[in-house]
Amino acid sequence: METFPISAKSKSMFIVYMVTNTCAFDAIALAYNDKNSYKRYINDCENLFLQFSKDLAIQELNKIIYRRRVDLLLMHFNKSEIYLKVQTINSECNATKIIQSYLKDEPSATECISCNKCGYITRPSPTIILPSNSDIKQLQTLLNVYTENRNSKCSTCGDIEISSRVLGEHIFIKTDFFTTPIQLQHIPKKLNTK
Ligand SMILES: [Zn+2]
CA of 100 to the centre of ligand 1 (A): 28
CA of 166 to the centre of ligand 1 (A): 21
- Around ion ligand 1, residues with a beta carbon closer than 5 Å are 115, 117-118, 154, 156-157, 159
How many other CB atoms are found less than 10 A from the CB of residue 130?
19
| pLDDT, tens digit, 9 for 90 and up, residues 115-148 | 999 999 999 999 998 877 777 888 889 889 999 9
Q: Is the pLDDT of residue 194 over 70?
A: no
pTM of the full structure = 0.77
Residue 8 pLDDT class (50, 70, 90 cuts):
very low
How many other CB atoms are found less than 10 A from the CB of residue 133?
9
Backbone φ and ψ of 62, nearest 5°: -145, 175
- Cβ–Cβ < 8 Å for 4, 65: no
Report how far apart, in Å, the C-alpha atoms of 47 and of each of 25, 43, 55, 103, 114 are.
15, 10, 13, 7, 28
